[in-house]
Amino acid sequence: MNGIKYLSLRFGKLVTKNSTRVLRQKYLRQMSTMQNPPDSELKPQFTIPKGIVGQPTCHTHPHLVPHGHLTCGITQMEYKERREVLVSKLIGEVDNVHRSHVIVIPAARKQYMSDKIPYVFRQNSDFFYLTGCLEPSAILVMVKPATRDTYKSILFVHDKDSHAELWEGPRTGCNVAATLFAVDEAQPVDNFNNFLHRTVAASKPSVLWYHNETPANPDIHETIRSSLRQGQAALEDPQRALHQMRVVKSPAEVELMKETCYIGSQSVNMAMACTKPGVSEHAISSVFEYTCRMSGAEHGAFPPVVAGGPRATHIHYVANNQLLDPRDMLLIDAGCQRWLYNSDISRTWPVSGKFSKHHRILYELVLSVQKRLIELLGEQRPALDQLFDHMCRLLGTSLQQEGILPKNIDTNELIGRAYRLCPHHVSHYLGLDVHDAPLVRRRVPVCANMVVTVEPGIYIRPDDTTVPEEFRGVGIRIEDDVLITEGDPIVLTDACAKEVHDIEAIVGKQNI
């Protein structure tokens, strides 16, 4: 790609093959010294078995997993500690201490687009957070008897099977899974049904912790329900406690978030650089995805929005099948997933490479609101719902100042009008899921080590006669991913161009 020299000079960090390699090497070095005690200090259960297992390990895929880690950036010890924290949180939630607790966290099962044609497998985030295990249809069970202070963790996995492995690739199997995932015991998934019935029947009165509403694996749903009926166990949902844990990132998770945000940022820059009149939205989407994958992401975080002109006023436009018009702006909302951690970025830029007068007015208005909202996150640690109120107020006032909204309306009316122009929320938590930890309310104040998006927008439909004509048919969104710290918030996507002069310097400078 030719224009890369210019872009590298301009930004010093645009993705090239070379810079990605350097980044990864630096990262691997950092990881192996920072969080990993020397082997001699590890207890016997914390070793990564050599040999081929069902997922990448530091022995078989040293280019993906740093030495001594179970998954990139996360040690077996960290996964074990998460399980311990969850068990103690859940026990603390139930009044009666004389109860046994059985916690069931299923992995995702494979999904098919048509007969025998699977979608790319995506592990269930709750299950992955507690195990680091990438196997479909596995099940984590933790049993805490009323009579003991300790709990036992059992991982149900698919056992070795030469016929299945001939088709699908190697499995970890029960013999190795307990060591690899640092659990007390590994059993074949086929044993789960009997195991659960026996355990629940033998431990009355018991609490069965299981997320019943949207089952991650419908195949075991009936087993759980029949255990409940027979064993007279009380059903409780572990997800709220789990999401409270997930919403606050560990130091290792923060590093993973930095990585995914950096890759997403550079990939949006590349999409910006490849934007020219007549190019298709589809091509821009492909540039984004290609750059993400070449830089170490597994795939996109979600189907990207690549919307030229008035199509940007449809907030979830994903058809991406139109050609770009030089008079239009282009809105992208895209992100990538690296080791299951997601970035989520929106940018809007002129197809021609130069903002028109009215586009620039609207763009700078949204940009100043977005920057102010990031400051407010640091100054006031508001709940995300409060940040949304701030956005409506700020947008309303700015639009009034520019003469886009009338001056003779009261504050409530103004906020209402702003809300109609930006009908989506301004923020969500970000992490293993794009809309991360959904059970954590957006009414709770943000705190250090949360990662949240800040994404104000304005969408003026082509037929919106309440707004001056020259501003109609435009959608603008600017979205960054922000790490809350004890001090100022850190914009993890700050490598992604958003100032007018930076955007104008990049757009169109790269040949596809």
Q: Give the binding site for Mn ion (CB under 5 A).
A: 344, 453
Q: Which is nearer to Mn ion, 434 or 512 (CB)?
A: 434
Nearby residues of 184 by Cβ (< 8 Å), 6 or more positions away: 152, 153, 154, 178
Say which amino acid occupies 66.
Answer: P
Torsion angle of alpha carbons 27, 31, 33, 37, nearest 10°?
Answer: -170
Q: How far is Cα 438 from Cα 428, in angstroms, rounded to an integer?
A: 9
Print the SS3 string covering 470-490. HHCCEEEECEEEEECCCCCCE
Q: Smallest gap, in angstroms, from Cβ of residue 247 to Mn ion? A: 15
Torsion angle of alpha carbons 33, 36, 40, 41, nearest 10°?
Answer: 120
Nearest residue to Mn ion by CB is: 344
Q: Smallest gap, in angstroms, from Cβ of residue 455 to Mn ion? A: 5
| Whole-angstrom Cα Rg for the chain | 25
Q: Smallest gap, in angstroms, from Cβ of residue 449 to Mn ion? A: 19
192 is written with which tokens?
């789960």
Q: Which is nearer to Mn ion, 236 or 344 (CB)?
A: 344
Q: How far is Cα 19 from Cα 23, in angstroms, rounded to an integer?
A: 6
Q: Smallest gap, in angstroms, from Cβ of residue 423 to Mn ion? A: 14
Of the candidates 333, 360, 368, which has an alpha carbon nearest to the alpha carbon of residue 503?
A: 360
The strand ranges marked E within 97-198 are 100-106, 112-114, 117-118, 139-144, 152-157, 185-188
Q: Which is nearer to Mn ion, 344 or 433 (CB)?
A: 344
Q: Which is nearer to Mn ion, 259 or 344 (CB)?
A: 344
Say which amino acid occupies 147.
Answer: T
Please give the full DSSP string across 100-123, using - where no structure is assigned. Answer: EEEEEEEPP---EEETTEEPPP--
Q: Smallest gap, in angstroms, from Cβ of residue 149 to Mn ion? A: 42
Q: Which is nearer to Mn ion, 126 or 479 (CB)?
A: 479
CB contact at 8 A, 324 and 278: yes
CB contact at 8 A, 78 and 252: yes
| Residue whose structure tokens are 């990864």 | 24
Q: Which is nearer to Mn ion, 135 or 344 (CB)?
A: 344
Residue 346 class from Cβ within 10 Å (0-12 exposed, 13-18 middle, 19+ buried)? buried
Q: Which is nearer to Mn ion, 44 or 423 (CB)?
A: 423
In degrees, rounded to 5, the angle at the alpha carbon of residue 334 between the alpha carbons of residues 328 and 340 is 175
Q: Which is nearer to Mn ion, 137 or 313 (CB)?
A: 313
Q: Which is nearer to Mn ion, 172 or 453 (CB)?
A: 453
Bond before 215 cis per omega within 30 degrees: no
Q: Smallest gap, in angstroms, from Cβ of residue 371 to Mn ion? A: 17
Q: Which is nearer to Mn ion, 276 or 442 (CB)?
A: 442
Beta bridge partners of 454: 480
234-236 and 299-300 strand pairing = unpaired
